[in-house]
């Protein structure tokens, strides 16, 4: 343990998560350019998007199961190789199929980061796990801010989507240097009995939370990943919207500790689902500068979803170990991979309906985007009911977690 430097390993984890987040933001910023350069429909763009969200859960499910045997360092090496290969292949993509393959590799690398870093941080900081996991997850919205602003400025400067992809090689190489140069700790403070991990996955509470995770993830990532196509004609800059929203999310997660302790995770999830529903509703009806206010409400709503869901499993279902945390994240991203083509088809269909209804040409994209956001609002609305039930049963849930 004397050669273990938790601070440097935490920094490596944060850099890797920044790369993960930048891939989401920059891909959202270049969708229109990809559509133009490769002649892709929104449905095809949905399939390209879905590969990132499919690769993520595949990695988390496979590597989450392998964590007890391979350890965090090997998983981080897999992430590094995946990021490097996926980014380079994207830069040199020749069309729809090569974009599918390269995007899947990036998604697999992103999932590898989560599969490695969540249990690594829980292992390194056993007495401060929730706080440190929240500080780690600050860098997902933080990385999206970096990526969104970089995408906007580079797009405005006509630098091309290939160069936007290339800048992500810088933090990739930086975290790779950390990974290859540092010793990693053995798993001493998390449950590493794989048999116990697997058996614990079948508890009713865990299965319930897995289902909820599929809805929290699409509630958060649906509007974010499609921001350029949904809000490009709203009168506000899509990349500024993305940067504003994720910047507020980063700030909220940095100071999540007092909020979680005051409301407890179940209360946080219920309140978040209510605010998220209202925020997506506002996005579906607002225009011009009001979009920025709607974005702020949406960001506050989805801010705590991801880390609180992961933290909930660590706190209330600890026997699931690294596998439980990984599968929770994997279920969320698998849900987004399934829904991305659907969201793309919603946009295509709403655009067709708007044209048929005689909507003026300058308002067609705005009408299609607002109609699609109205559909997305259904996801957090279902969560209000689900988390309301969980909140009503919170005393039983808390008691079960201590037995």
Confidence of residue 225 (pLDDT cuts 50, 70, 90): low
Structural domain boundaries enclosing 342: 6-401
Residue 391 pLDDT > 90? yes
**Does 98 map to a domain?**
yes
DSSP 290-329: HHHHHHHHHHHHHTTHHHHHHHHHHHH-GGGHHHHHHHHH
**How much is the pLDDT for 229?**
65
Q: What are phi and psi of 183, to 5 degrees?
A: -85, 145
Q: Output the average pLDDT for the chain.
A: 87
Residue 1 pLDDT > 60? no
Which CATH number covers residue 380? 1.20.1250.20
**Does 1 map to a domain?**
no
**Does 390 map to a domain?**
yes
- Domains in the chain, number: 1
Per-residue pLDDT tens digits for 42-81: 788 888 878 887 888 889 889 988 898 899 999 999 999 9
Per-residue pLDDT tens digits for 331-374: 888 888 788 888 889 988 999 999 998 888 888 888 888 899 99
Per-residue pLDDT tens digits for 251-301: 888 887 777 777 788 999 999 999 999 999 998 888 778 888 888 999 999
Confidence of residue 86 (pLDDT cuts 50, 70, 90): very high
Helix (H, G, I), strand (E, B), or coil: what is residue 21? helix
Confidence of residue 230 (pLDDT cuts 50, 70, 90): low
**How much is the pLDDT for 234?**
67
Q: Which of 122, 118, 91 is nearest to 106 (CA)?
A: 91
Rounded mean pLDDT of 196-224?
92
* Residue 123 and residue 9 in contact, taking contact as beta carbons nearer than 8 Å: no
Q: Which residue has the tokens 């930048």?
A: 22
**Does 163 map to a domain?**
yes
Find the helix packing angle between 204-225 and 238-254, rounded to 10°.
Answer: 140
Own/partner pairs, 257-261, CB within 8 angstroms, 24+ separation: 257/130, 257/131, 257/134, 259/304, 260/130, 260/134, 260/304, 260/308, 260/311
User: Using CA atoms, how far apart are residues 340 and 336, in angstroms rounded to an integer?
Assistant: 6
Q: Which of 73, 86, 71 is nearest to 19 (CA)?
A: 86
**How much is the pLDDT for 182?**
92
**How much is the pLDDT for 33?**
85
**Does 228 map to a domain?**
yes
Rounded mean pLDDT of 195-217?
94
- The tokens for 144 are 């999206």
**Does 145 map to a domain?**
yes
Residues present in the chain in total: 403
pTM of the model: 0.80
User: Using CA atoms, how far apart are residues 354 and 194, in angstroms rounded to an integer?
Assistant: 53
Instruction: List, in order, residues 6 or more apart from 358 with CB less than 8 Å away.
Output: none
Instruction: List, in order, residues 6 or more apart from 152 with CB less than 8 Å away.
Output: 29, 237, 239, 240, 243
236 alpha carbon, distance to own chain's centre: 23
Note the maximum CA span of the chain. 71
- The tokens for 182 are 């540092």
- How wide is the angle at C-alpha 324 spanned by C-alphas 323 and 327, nearest 5°? 80
Q: What are phi and psi of 4, to 5 degrees?
A: -85, 130
Q: What are phi and psi of 130, to 5 degrees?
A: -60, -45
Residue 389 pLDDT > 60? yes
């Amino acid at each position: 343990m004397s050669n273990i430097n938790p601070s440097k390993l935490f920094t490596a984890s944060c850099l890797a998560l920044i790369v993960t987040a930048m891939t989401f933001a920059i891909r959202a910023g270049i969708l229109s350019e990809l559509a133009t350069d490769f002649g892709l429909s929104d449905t095809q763009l949905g399939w390209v998007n879905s590969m990132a969200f499919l690769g993520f859960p595949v990695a988390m499910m496979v590597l989450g199961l392998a964590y007890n045997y391979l350890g965090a360092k090997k998983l981080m090496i897999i992430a590094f190789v995946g990021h490097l290969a996926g980014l380079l292949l994207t830069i040199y993509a020749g069309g729809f199929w090569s974009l599918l393959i390269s995007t899947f590799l990036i998604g697999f690398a992103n999932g590898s980061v989560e599969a490695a870093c969540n249990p690594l941080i829980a292992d390194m900081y056993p007495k401060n796990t929730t706080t440190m996991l929240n500080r780690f997850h600050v860098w997902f919205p933080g990385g999206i801010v970096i990526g969104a602003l970089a995408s906007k400025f580079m797009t405005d400067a006509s630098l091309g989507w290939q160069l936007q992809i290339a800048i992500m090689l810088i933090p990739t190489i930086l975290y790779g240097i950390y990974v290859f140069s540092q010793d990693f700790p053995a798993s001493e403070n998390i449950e590493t009995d794989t048999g116990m991990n697997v058996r614990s996955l079948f508890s009713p509470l865990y299965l319930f939370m897995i289902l909820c995770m599929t809805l929290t993830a699409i509630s958060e990532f649906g509007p974010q990943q499609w921001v350029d196509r949904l809000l490009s004609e709203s009168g506000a800059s899509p990349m500024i919207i993305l940067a504003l929203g994720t910047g507020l999310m980063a700030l909220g997660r940095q100071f999540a500790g007092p909020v979680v302790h005051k409301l407890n995770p179940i209360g946080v999830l219920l309140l978040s689902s209510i605010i998220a529903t209202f925020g997506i509703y506002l996005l579906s009806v607002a225009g011009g500068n009001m979009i920025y206010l709607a974005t702020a409400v949406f960001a506050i709503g989805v801010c705590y979803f991801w880390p609180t869901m992961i933290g909930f499993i660590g706190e209330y279902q600890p026997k699931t170990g690294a596998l439980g945390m990984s599968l929770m994240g994997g279920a969320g991203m698998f849900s987004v991979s399934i829904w991305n083509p659907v969201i793309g088809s919603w946009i295509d269909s709403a655009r067709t309906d708007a044209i048929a209804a005689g909507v003026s040409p300058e308002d067609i994209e705005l009408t299609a985007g607002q109609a699609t956001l109205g559909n997305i609002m259904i996801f957090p609305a279902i969560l209000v009911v689900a988390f309301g039930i969980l909140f009503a049963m919170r005393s039983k849930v808390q008691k079960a977690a201590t037995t």
